[in-house]
Structure 1
Amino acid sequence: MGMTKPMDLGNPEDAWQLRATSVTQSFGVALRELHDSNPWPDQPFLPLAINHLMTELWDQRFSQTDIREAFETAIADLPRYAGGQERRR
């Protein structure tokens, strides 16, 4: 989504972009690890995690509109990113 140019780590904007990518990638890895180790398989972890994420974003003073629009935008872009696959192989 727009952040795909060559990196110059001496550039503060590129350093910010790298930090943003690193934080979200680490968060995704942690969610996968928690999902895989969920001791209650009858209680899906991902909906709970997303709910906690949204409430944390709200607690961090993002507006409900900002949160909703961000999720809707991400969901709308997922088919392009996934290339027709339901799940990464």
Structure 2
Amino acid sequence: MQANEAVWRFGETLKRLHAANPWPNLPLLEQAIPYLMTELWDCGFSQTEIRKAFEAAIAQMPAYAAGEERRP
């Protein structure tokens, strides 16, 4: 599925940028996720659609991570 490929590439890019981040006081995800949200809104997704998607993802995280804080 094209969406999965796009998300995987986005994740890999963020991982690379996070590893190379020269400003540890400016966490990458705290900058990238709000920007992603605004890009989605600019692309025509509604606030409700975006909020529901983020909330659903957050709700699924504990089961996906199986109690681990970070992937081993």
Structure 1 residue 19 displacement after superposition: 1.5
Q: 1:47 aligns with which of 15, 30, 48?
A: 30
Q: Which whole-Å CA distance do the structure 2 matches of 1:39 and 1:85 have between them?
A: 26
Report the AA paired with residue 51 of structure 2. Answer: R
Report deviation, 1:38.
1.0
| Structure 2 residue runs without a partner (length 5+) | none
- Please tell me the residue identity of whatever aligns with 1:49: A
RMSD: 0.8
Match of 2:43 in 1: 60
| Distance in structure 2 (CA, Å) of the matches to 1:60 and 1:36 | 29
- What is the total number of aligned residue pairs between the two structures? 72
Runs of 5+ unmatched residues, structure 1: 1-17
| TM-score of the superposed pair, with normalisation by structure 1 | 0.77
Structure-2 separation of matches of 1:70 and 1:48: 18
The DSSP-based 3-state class of the residue aligned with 1:40 is: coil
Cα displacement (A) at 1:20: 1.7
**Following TM superposition, where does structure 1 have runs of at least 4 consecutive aligned residues deviating by more than 4 angstroms?**
none
- Of 38, 41, 52, which aligns to 1:69? 52
**Could you say which structure has the larger radius of gyration?**
1
Identity %: 56
TM value normalised by structure 2:
0.94
